[in-house]
Chain A
């Protein structure tokens, strides 16, 4: 188990290095020049050239990467080209918003997806199953920004139950936090919930036909126990796998959702930074997002050991 964990950690670190190198090299292929933006609107060409030199943009790509990686290892992700603020601070200020949104959306997706998937499987090929499967197909197909806009129109403007935009930190007002995140989290969770529903349904149908389920039922165990103890635990691997994949879907979707709901998370920051070519910020966000997804993948892998003890060896 220890060796397995170490191997996973080493792979995670190698992936992080690879991703950061990729982002660094991609930047040199994109046209545009941050020095023009940074020098200001009244800058002369000499000002722009001087700015480029100050930023070290004239240095070779490899040297710039090595400089950056060396500092990053010491926890220094550099400073934003435009605000001059430490990248870690810029990201740190927004990460709680995005993490709150992701956590809430994932929770909603899990509850909805597992409940609907199990319900559909238990009523296989009957009306509830068909309704759920159709709804799930629609859920997967709907773009989340559109769902978000509908939610704003319906539940914030026409029927003002929730705030249309903004964010309140959990620590200062837990209820306000929930109210502000409810609509974007629901909007964001629908597609992953639909995907979970389909996968859980398939998995449960398969498990219901397995011998140990039949044996448990034949033993006279109540249906609730059979489902709760035997079936659900065995869908765990499916749920963990799908949920792990959906974290990256959620992270991508959160960029759009944060725009629609005016949430000050990583989404607007990454859009601004990519547009302005604020490379240190883009690097930082890619690094943090990659780390987040890799940690989730690690957690998923470790969860297999709980759901299926055979994996532990």
Chain B
């Protein structure tokens, strides 16, 4: 009897300890594309972050609201009257190949990002003039005209630290070597990247998964089918799929990113040189109606390019500066000498959702007598034609913001901005921009952003549509998913999988 009791007790203890030691689950994520490169210096798309973040820890980690938090730097302060950024680095961290992480490694990385031929990060680091190693644990970055925008930038690709020993590895694009919580154990081009946890990683709350499998499934329906049939744990959806996902019993969250949908008007083309015409078109479009009908509420109507609640969003300027008012649109057109409207051509990304948005905008403009000739084309073609060659009057699409709002507005509103095809700008915008970069203090920067955004809204560069909430669906095994992510996608911080 005693023996029996002992056996039962032993079995009970064993089962409890097995339950306690249940290994962390692997997260199987469905994504739309494979990575362009796993070397952050060569990665061309914001969509690569989902593949890069597990491997590469950044200098700082950005919170939900875009606030910098310690990651590889534990402390930072602005020096040289805002022209220097002094970073104190985390001690005892090693890259995945065993190379120690120190100030030399930071200098090597930032110099590589800003000078290497073919680096896609040169533009965002153009403000940096030199990187000085003070000692093994401290490094100072010097900027030409203020380091204000630099800190958040170091939460993105330019802050991703690659082992300097691996810089010359010919296979860095497929076998990344970072200082992050996971390492790539399998890379199948265009199909799947598998990550396994790194032993001895310093921050356990950033390493709660037993592993990660990111599968590239370009077709929207296929991604949802894979989630429904249990082959995936999590994926993002298009708004029209939300009902199907809900009906299938999946959990849903609207992932706040930094994408803003808008219609661009080249002020050097068609009748767009006249601000009254640009404003008339704004009044003619029912932004609220579009977000509710086409985007099922997964987009908040906004004329402002920066997301509400983050640095740079102008609180003193209305979110919708130009509400739906076709009568006012007609009046403005008449004032501009176009009582019978006019005709212009526009290109739209050949992605079904954008084509639909374009068609609705087209119909609404027709109501006030304006004829928009809409042509759908692949994304690179549209970007090349509208932004590159400035060969199209208008554009229907989106803007994927940079992690630092200064970079986002520079691209949209400065004469040097790629996403500003007419190169139109005003002294107010340029002065305010200089202040957003110059000042290291967020409060000071915010003041400058208020001025800048107000002026940009008065200039009416775009027909703003909405701030995107990407619907993310996941099954019951995935826990602690939050609605916010500073980047377009999430960095898996704190996410667990329990099967």
Chain A partners chain B: yes
**Interface, chain A (partner B; CB < 8 A):** 30-34, 36-45, 47-48, 50-51, 54, 82-85, 89-90, 93-94, 149, 152, 156-157, 160, 163-167, 259-262, 264, 268-269, 271-272, 274-277
Docked Cα-Cα span, A118 to B149, in Å, equals: 75
A59 CA / B450 CA spacing, docked (Å): 46
B222/A259 in contact, CB under 8 A: yes
CA of A84 to CA of B36, assembled, Å: 9
Bound CA–CA A42/B44 (angstroms): 9
Of B118, B122, B377, B384, which one neighbours A36 at CB under 8 angstroms? B384
Chain B residues whose C-beta falls within 8 Å of the C-beta of A156 in the assembled complex = 225, 229
A93 CB contacts on chain B under 8 angstroms? 188-191
Q: Which 6 A-B pairs have the closest CB atoms?
A: A264-B191, A40-B120, A32-B381, A164-B229, A33-B384, A165-B226
Contact B231 A166 (CB under 8 A): yes
Cβ A40 vs Cβ B216 within 8 A:
no
**Distance (Å) between the CB of A288 and the closest chain B CB?**
15
Q: Pull 10 A–B residue pairs with CB atoms less than 8 Å apart, ordered by A.
A: A40-B121, A42-B120, A43-B123, A90-B189, A164-B225, A165-B226, A259-B218, A262-B222, A274-B378, A276-B378
Residues from 428 to 443 in B contacting A, C-beta threshold 8 Å: none
By a beta-carbon cutoff of 8 Å, the part of chain B in contact with chain A is 33-37, 42-46, 117-118, 120-124, 126, 173-174, 188-192, 215-219, 221-223, 225-226, 228-231, 377-381, 383-385, 387-388, 400, 402, 407, 411, 416, 418
Task: Pick the residue among A45, A83, A167, A268 that contacts B36 (CB under 8 A).
Answer: A83
B192 touches A264 (CB 8 A): yes
CB-based nearest A residue for B173: A84
Inter-chain contact A41/B46, CB cutoff 8 Å: yes
Q: Judging by beta carbons under 8 Å apart, are B121 and A42 in contact?
A: yes
Of the listed residues A34, A37, A271, the one surrounded by the most CB atoms of chain B closer than 10 A to its CB is A37
Q: Which residue of A lies closest to B44 (CB)?
A: A40
Q: Which chain A residue lies CB-closest to B401? A: A41
Most buried by A among B126, B229, B411: B229
Q: Which of B37, B188, B192, B377 contacts A83 (CB 8 A)?
A: B37
Dominant SS among interface residues on chain B = loop
Instruction: For the complex, give the distance between the alpha carbons of A264 and B33 in Å.
Output: 11
**Across the interface, do A164 and B228 meet the contact criterion of CB distance under 8 Å?**
yes
- Tell whether, in the assembled complex, residue A268 and residue B190 are in contact, meaning their CB atoms are under 8 Å apart: yes
Contact A41 B45 (CB under 8 A): yes
A63 to chain B, nearest CB (A): 22
Does the CB pair A275–B402 fall under 8 Å? no
Point out the residues of chain B lying under 8 angstroms from A271, CB to CB. 218
Among B42, B222, B385, which residue has the most Cβ atoms of chain A within 10 A? Answer: B222
How far apart are B225's CB and chain A's nearest CB, in angstroms? 4
Provide the residues of chain B in CB contact with A262, threshold 8 Å: 215, 217, 219, 222-223, 226
Q: Given known contacts A40-B44, A260-B221, is B37 in contact with A165 (CB within 8 Å)?
A: no
Evaluate whether A160 and B229 lie within 8 angstroms (CB atoms) in the complex, with A38-B44, A89-B189 already known.
yes
B194 → A minimal CB distance (Å): 13
A164 and B222 alpha carbons, distance in the complex (Å)? 8
Q: B87: shortest Cβ distance to chain A, in Å? A: 22
Bound Cα distance A82, B118 (Å): 11
Measured between C-beta atoms, what is the minimum distance from A111 to chain B in Å?
Answer: 28
Point out the residues of chain B lying under 8 angstroms from A37, CB to CB: 44-45, 379-380, 383
Query: Which residue of B is nearest A153, CB measured?
Result: B225
Select from chain A the residue with minimum beta-carbon distance to B125.
A42
Given A32-B377, A44-B126, A163-B229, 12 additional A-B pairs, CB 8 A: A37-B379, A39-B120, A43-B123, A48-B388, A89-B189, A93-B189, A262-B215, A264-B190, A264-B216, A272-B218, A276-B380, A277-B378
